């Protein structure tokens, strides 16, 4: 089959095929396959997004758009159909029940539709009995759900940007780490093709009605009128946002079920994300959690790309995707089983590095202590009985709510310019000892690379401050709602605090009381070059780039923050050793 044939003459297209599930509900499917006799392996994709946006003519009208382009459209991510077909695959694109042209009610926890759809695919005369999956984001998350359902014809998957692993694809734990609600689901509603009732708000089931009344009385929600609008409609619009607002908690039964599902993945997979994903969390969190915990997979890989999101329509990584699928679906011996398990793009030096596991074996977990004058140092403070330099007084910042200001107050801690290159790869964490004057806040922390800085700090005029115009690259962030500080002691690790995030475990802060807060900072990979500074910002507010809760980019949304003015006091001394834990890799 020549690759230079006219655009569609080498492809048979079947649109809106209605496929019956076991309960009689029909799901809408598009099929693209080579225009040649024979049977072919199938790359199947399935998501909450509109399948019509994945059509080849969309890609032709909208050539690949970089992440910074105005016409970048996130949900065109089902794969390069023409390339897949040209390489001898059928491409099957389906819509979930209750989505687009599919029948039924939207059910993100359905446990049989993938099995039934793959079963239908294998019975078609153009299928050779081998099925793989492709697509990123929601299309990636569905691949793990399909793997859990366990159809024997599903041989391998490539779930890049693969959604949440713990407690479900869209869980509070993975989508809103630390229990701090962010606006991406609200912004995603602009893309929705889910069937929603859009009727008159009516009574809810008693348990949900009680939760709804709690949400309606939440003063933080009331500050954000666009969210209040969704609450008043009682689930008639933006169902995902509504359910998050009325029940912003994890549930032990969901967590337990997800851990059971991790063990059900028994096929090869490649998962991953990129440095861009820290702003919306679930893709990078989910990829790591699937990779680390799906221990029954015979071959798995983790890929971490750089800071720019994939182009849309999605066409990148297809060399690797086809190589992966050629081996597992076509039986081609092309060396994929010898590929290193972990491949990471390291910012700062802008090169790939490979490792044997995640976190990286041999990681030197290094503490950088918060110190006076907003400094970061590896030197541990001495107790008061051993030194006159003991500092009992806290650093302080006071943040007014978004209803009164768009100014983000912060404490900024930085190392001196580094004497040598320093490589960090992996998960990070921040331990704060702090007191508040209110019963809650949102801790928002940011890790950055600042420099190069050739300045010195002395008493001379012009040398007393760190220069304000130094280059700065944001690397990653972490979040924790102060009332969710309670940890799960079994699942927690020093570099990966695991908070309970349940309604029962939530504890209001006693004003004035010093508490320990262990804050997960999403994994990163960066080479801090000689002369650069490690920078840590501690905040409690972020600001949308638009009005009415809108943002320039759907995956860079702000968070629901406190409606009160909150004073934060951070202690750092031998008794209260606040510190940043970084995964240093020996060079």
pLDDT tens digits for range 217-244: 999 999 999 999 999 999 998 999 999 9
What does pLDDT average to over the chain? 95
Question: How would residue 6 be classed by pLDDT, with cut points 50, 70 and 90?
Answer: very low
Q: Say what the pLDDT of residue 9 is.
A: 56
The pLDDT confidence band at residue 523, using thresholds 50, 70 and 90, is very high
Say which CATH topology domain 364-585 has.
Answer: Jelly Rolls (2.60.120)
Average confidence (pLDDT) over 510-535: 98
Rounded to 5°, the CA angle 511-396-515 comes to 40
Q: Is the pLDDT of residue 451 over 60?
A: yes
Distance separating alpha carbons of residues 251 and 282, to the nearest angstrom: 17
Distance (Å, rounded) from C-alpha 232 to C-alpha 548? 16
Tens digit of each residue's pLDDT (9 = 90 or more) over 174-212: 999 999 999 998 988 888 888 988 889 999 999 999 999
Instruction: Assign 336 a pLDDT band (cuts: 50, 70, 90).
Output: very high
Q: Is the model's pLDDT at 2 over the cut of 80?
A: no
What is the SS3 string spanning 182-244? Answer: ECHHHHHHHHCCECCCCCCCCCCCHHHHHHHHHHHCCHHHHHCHHHHHHHHCCCCCCHHHHHH
Closest CA to 580 of 529, 514, 543, 533: 533
The residue-averaged pLDDT of 138-143 equals 96
Residue 459: what pLDDT? Answer: 93
- Outline where DSSP puts E strands in 252-380: 269-274, 300-305, 342-346, 351-355, 364-371, 375-377
Q: What integer is the mean pLDDT of 134-141?
A: 96
Inform me whether the pLDDT recorded for 372 exceeds 80.
Answer: yes
Cα 183–185–189 angle (5° rounding)? Answer: 120
**What's the rounded mean pLDDT across residues 137-165?**
97
In terms of Cβ atoms closer than 10 Å to its own Cβ (0-12, 13-18, 19+), residue 433 is: buried
- Per-domain residue ranges for the chain? 11-171+255-339, 176-246, 364-585
Residues 401-427: tens digit of each pLDDT: 999 999 999 999 999 999 999 999 999
Q: Reply yes or no on whether the pLDDT at 306 is more than 50.
A: yes
The answer to whether 11-171+255-339 and 364-585 have equal CATH topology is no
CATH classification (class only), 11-171+255-339 = alpha beta
The fraction of the chain above a pLDDT of 90, given in percent, is 90
Comparing C-alpha atoms, which of 456, 509, 459, 450 is closest to residue 480? 509
Q: What are phi and psi of 30, to 5 degrees?
A: -110, 140
- At 563-580, the pLDDT tens digits run 999 999 999 999 999 999
Question: What confidence tens digit (pLDDT) does each residue in 241-287 have?
Answer: 999 999 999 999 999 999 999 999 999 999 999 999 999 899 999 99
Interior angle at CA 381, CA 396 and CA 377, nearest 5: 75
Whether 86 shows a pLDDT value over 60: the answer reads yes
Return the pLDDT at 556: 87
Question: What per-residue confidence (pLDDT) applies to 22?
Answer: 98
């Amino acid at each position: 089959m020549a690759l230079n044939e006219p655009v569609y003459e080498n492809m048979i297209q079947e649109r809106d095929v209605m496929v019956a599930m076991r309960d009689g509900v029909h799901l809408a499917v598009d099929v693209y396959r080579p225009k040649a006799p024979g049977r072919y392996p199938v790359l199947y994709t399935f998501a909450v997004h509109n399948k019509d946006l994945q059509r080849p003519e969309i890609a032709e009208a909208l050539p690949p758009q970089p992440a910074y382009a105005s016409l970048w459209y996130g949900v065109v991510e089902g794969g390069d159909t023409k390339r897949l077909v040209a390489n001898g695959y059928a491409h099957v694109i389906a819509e979930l029940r209750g989505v687009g042209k599919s029948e039924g009610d939207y059910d993100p926890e359905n446990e049989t539709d993938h099995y039934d759809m793959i079963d239908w695919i294998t019975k078609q005369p153009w299928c050779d009995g081998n099925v793989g999956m492709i697509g990123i984001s929601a299309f990636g998350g569905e691949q793990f759900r399909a793997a859990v359902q366990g159809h024997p014809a599903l041989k391998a998957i490539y779930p890049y940007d693969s959604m949440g692993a713990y407690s479900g694809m869209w869980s509070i734990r993975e989508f809103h780490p630390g229990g701090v609600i962010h606006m991406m689901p609200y912004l995603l509603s602009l893309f929705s093709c889910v069937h929603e009732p859009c009727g008159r708000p009516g009574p809810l089931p008693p348990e949900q009605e009680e939760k709804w009344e709690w949400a309606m009385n939440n003063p933080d929600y009331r500050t954000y009128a666009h969210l209040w609008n969704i609450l008043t409609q009682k689930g008639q619009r933006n169902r995902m946002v509504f359910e998050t607002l009325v029940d912003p908690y994890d549930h032990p039964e969901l967590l337990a079920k997800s851990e059971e599902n991790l063990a059900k993945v028994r096929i090869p997979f490649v998962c991953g994300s990129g440095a861009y994903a820290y702003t919306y969390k679930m893709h990078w969190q989910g990829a790591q959690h699937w990779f680390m915990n799906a221990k029954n997979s015979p071959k798995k890989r983790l890929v971490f790309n750089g800071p720019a999101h994939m182009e849309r329509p999605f066409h990148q990584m297809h060399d690797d995707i086809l190589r992966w699928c050629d081996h597992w679906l076509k039986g081609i011996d092309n060396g994929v089983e010898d590929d290193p398990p972990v491949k990471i793009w390291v910012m700062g030096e802008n090169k790939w590095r490979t490792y044997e596991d995640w976190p990286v074996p041999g990681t030197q977990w290094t503490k950088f202590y918060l110190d006076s004058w907003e400094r970061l140092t590896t030197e541990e403070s001495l107790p008061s009985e051993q030194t006159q330099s003991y500092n009992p007084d806290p650093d302080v910042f006071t943040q007014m709510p978004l209803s009164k200001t768009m100014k983000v107050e912060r404490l900024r801690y930085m190392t001196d310019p580094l004497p040598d290159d320093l490589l960090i790869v992996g998960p990070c964490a921040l331990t704060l000892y702090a007191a508040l004057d209110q019963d809650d806040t949102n801790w928002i922390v940011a890790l950055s690379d600042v420099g190069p800085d050739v300045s010195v700090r002395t008493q001379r005029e012009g040398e007393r401050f760190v220069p304000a115009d130094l280059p700065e690259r944001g690397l990653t962030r972490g979040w924790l709602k102060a009332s969710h500080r309670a940890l799960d002691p079994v699942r927690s690790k020093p570099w990966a605090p695991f908070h309970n995030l349940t309604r029962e475990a939530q504890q209001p802060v006693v004003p004035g009381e010093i508490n320990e807060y262990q804050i997960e900072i999403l994994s990163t990979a960066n080479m801090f070059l000689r002369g650069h500074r490690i920078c840590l910002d501690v905040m409690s507010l972020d600001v949308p780039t638009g009005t009415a809760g809108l943002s320039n980019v759907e995956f860079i949304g702000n968070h629901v923050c406190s409606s009160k003015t909150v004073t934060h006091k951070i202690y750092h001394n031998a008794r209260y050793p606040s510190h940043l834990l970084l995964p240093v890799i020996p060079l």
